[in-house]
Structure 1
Amino acid sequence: MQRHKLRTAVTLCAAAALAAVAPASTSAGASSPTPDPDPVLVDCFFDPQVRPDDFILACGDGNNRLVDLRWSSWGPAVAEARGVDLVNDCRPYCAVGKFHAYPVTVKLDRPEPWEKDPDQDHYTRMRLVYTDDKPAQADKEETFKLWD
């Protein structure tokens, strides 16, 4: 009789352990909704980024990049950050130019389906607002269309 109680106890424990890790079944035709992921920021290598610390704006030569990005929000419609825009002055030419740092706020918006992964939205517009000095060739506010 002891052996039967022990075997029953072991069987019940095993069944409970399996039930704890097994996914809950759903009835036929019903599916659990999964929330759409927030949009991504597509980088120069066409990789999706979420809340990146840095981001290259000049993909061809790297002479303009955002660094030290601190994201205050990242949502389905808008993402916002503060950081620094590092811009090469390219004087007398870019290979020997100096990088200058400009504090900036960054706003991403206008999410659309990403060509590489249509189930994933990506931000299509970036707005930079220089909060102090700005590059000589830039306006106080600059808006860029982002690549797909």
Structure 2
Amino acid sequence: MNHYTTERPSPSVPVLTAALLLACACALLAIVPVSGRGAESIQQPHAEKVLVAACGLETYGGSIRPREWSPGCAGGSLLVRGLRWPSYGQSRAVGKGTGLFNNCRPSCADATIRRYPTQLTMTRVRRCQTDEGAYLFFTRATVRVRYPRGNPFGKRPGWRTDGTYRAASC
């Protein structure tokens, strides 16, 4: 008896049934909510996502869980980089990253940039009209910074609310 053959045996009914069940299971996994990272977009299939406006203006567009955020996108503006979003919901989002702060000494162009741990909390959801249509945006950003001892800004060390910004103009 030859155990090595080039002929493929025809699949039996149980093999075809198992293959069909496996294909159905894979299709169900694609549409059924799962828990864990990255599953948020399918846990609420009918909920419209809330956007974070670029540069504090919804006319510049928006994104979900951006990696960077600035209230003004100008040379002297605060910039938060490396944002991670442990919480991102329909009414509130919390991002953590590194804030780049400019003390503008001797001038804003020639100053030393300081980097401090920063928390960004986005709230106050409003529907804003853009060139592409109406979208939900977070319109308020509260920035908390962990200042070190002896920082050039004269802030007490520890976590401090650095400011509340208009995050979208609508």
Alignment counterpart, residue 96 of structure 1, candidates 110, 120, 125? 110
Q: Contact 1:57/1:66 (CA < 8 Å) preserved in 2?
A: no
The size of the alignment, in residue pairs, is: 115
Change (3 A) 1:100 1:47: same
Alpha-carbon displacement from aligned partner over 1:81-113 (angstroms, at most 9, x marks no partner): 111110112111111111101111111011000
Establish whether residue 38 from structure 1 lines up as the match of residue 49 from structure 2.
yes
**Residues in 1 aligned to 2:143 and 2:152: alpha-carbon distance in whole angstroms:** 12
* CA shift for structure 1 position 126: 0.6
Change (3 A) 1:48 1:100: same
Q: Which runs of 5+ in 1 are unaligned?
A: 1-33
* CA shift for structure 1 position 138: 6.7
* CA shift for structure 1 position 147: 2.5
**After TM superposition, where is structure 1 displaced by more than 6 Å over at least 4 residues in a row?**
none
Q: Percent of aligned positions with the same letter in both sequences?
A: 23
Aligned to 2:85: 71
Establish whether residue 119 from structure 1 lines up as the match of residue 134 from structure 2.
yes
* CA shift for structure 1 position 57: 2.8
**Residues in 2 aligned to 1:124 and 1:138: alpha-carbon distance in whole angstroms:** 26
Q: Which runs of 5+ in 2 are unaligned?
A: 1-44
**Residues in 1 aligned to 2:168 and 2:85: alpha-carbon distance in whole angstroms:** 21
- Structure 2 length-normalised TM: 0.59
Aligned ranges 1:1-148 → 2 under 5 Å: 35-44=46-55, 46-61=60-75, 63-116=77-130, 119-133=134-148, 136=153, 140-141=160-161, 142-148=163-169
Alpha-carbon displacement from aligned partner over 1:9-31 (angstroms, at most 9, x marks no partner): xxxxxxxxxxxxxxxxxxxxxxx
**Residues in 1 aligned to 2:96 and 2:144: alpha-carbon distance in whole angstroms:** 10
**Residues in 2 aligned to 1:57 and 1:146: alpha-carbon distance in whole angstroms:** 6
- Structure 1 length-normalised TM: 0.67
Q: Contact 1:63/1:94 (CA < 8 Å) preserved in 2?
A: no
